[in-house]
Amino acid sequence: MGEGGFKNRTTKITIVGLGLIGGSYAKALKKAGFNEIYGIDVQVESLEKAQTAGIIKKGYTDSKEPLGKSDLVIVCLYPEDTVRFIRANMSSFKPGCIVTDVSGVKDGLIDSISSFIREDVDFVGGHPMAGKEYQGIDFSEASLFEGANYLITPSEKSKQESVGLVRELACCLGCSSIEVVGADKHDRMIALTSHVPHVIALALISCNDALEGKNFTGNSFRDITRVANINEKLWGELFMLNRKNLAEQLQDFQDGIEAIKQALLKPSPDELEAIMKNAKQKRGELD
């Protein structure tokens, strides 16, 4: 597929899985001027909602027809379901089409897909760093990705033209920072920036006094525990698929907690204040 067709909004796009992320892709791409958008989902209700809202041209429960005419396929499923879907439908993809995904882990996923993908189909991993605590198309919105980071994780087989198209896709979604990274670095960094915060939220809300302290909470407690309102099936899968990186990052975090704990036992606040000053400086470098 040529880049010009994508920029001219004539690309035929199929979105697999019309939940929060897939529905938001459909809304954002429709807003960006694409009209040939199709949806695949096992839930007829989600397809009907998307079609009634006008964010897809047509919805399908059978994948063969839309995949056979689509230039770009965006698979918005859980990681293991993404691999299963692409493998099961390998014969249905249009020759020359580009397939991308939204999975939060990449290393094993990309290796698996690369092992069976057809030579005339190109897979480029993608990960929009955006979401909500809620599930389903009812919570999707066109602005979900605006200002978000977008990580592109090509395989060794991915063509530069295809990587460029996924970059253009991220631009159409409204993402502000788009970076191409290897799968191993992606998973290591995501373990820290995404998975560890979820673990912290789970551990904090699980403390014995968490509910008893309901009337003692301020914004900081609510903000930190917000992501504990979690999709346990998805996040359980993400944690387990990235367990090695997550365990290493958690150990680093535990070392930091231990340093603060030991500083609290000292008679002088100097060591504690030094930790705080260093943390404040590092946090300032993120902005």
Compute the CA torsion angle 187, 178, 202, 285 (nearest 10 deg). 100
| pLDDT score recorded for residue 217 | 84
pTM of the model: 0.91
| pLDDT score recorded for residue 32 | 94
Which has the closest alpha carbon to 35: 53, 51, 11? Answer: 11
Q: What are phi and psi of 128, to 5 degrees?
A: -75, 125
Domain boundaries, the chain: 3-181, 186-284
In three-state secondary structure terms, 12 is coil
| pLDDT score recorded for residue 94 | 97
| pLDDT score recorded for residue 5 | 56
Structural contact between residues 142 and 34, judged by C-beta atoms closer than 8 angstroms: no
The Cα–Cα gap between 144 and 84 comes to 27
> Within 13 Å and on the Cβ side, how many CA atoms surround 120?
9
| pLDDT score recorded for residue 131 | 83
The Cα–Cα gap between 150 and 178 comes to 5
The CATH superfamily of 186-284 is: 6-phosphogluconate dehydrogenase C-terminal like domain (1.10.3660.10)
> CATH assignment of 3-181, given 3.60.60.10, 3.40.50.300, 3.40.50.720, 2.70.170.10?
3.40.50.720
Sheet containing 58-60, strands listed edge to edge, beginning at the edge strand earlier in sequence: 58-60, 37-40, 13-16, 72-75, 98-101, 122-128, 149-154, 177-180
**DSSP letter at 228?**
G
| pLDDT score recorded for residue 79 | 96
> Mean pLDDT of residues grouped by 10 in the chain (287 residues)?
63 96 97 96 96 96 97 97 98 97 95 96 96 87 96 96 95 95 97 96 93 84 91 95 98 97 96 96 89
| pLDDT score recorded for residue 1 | 52
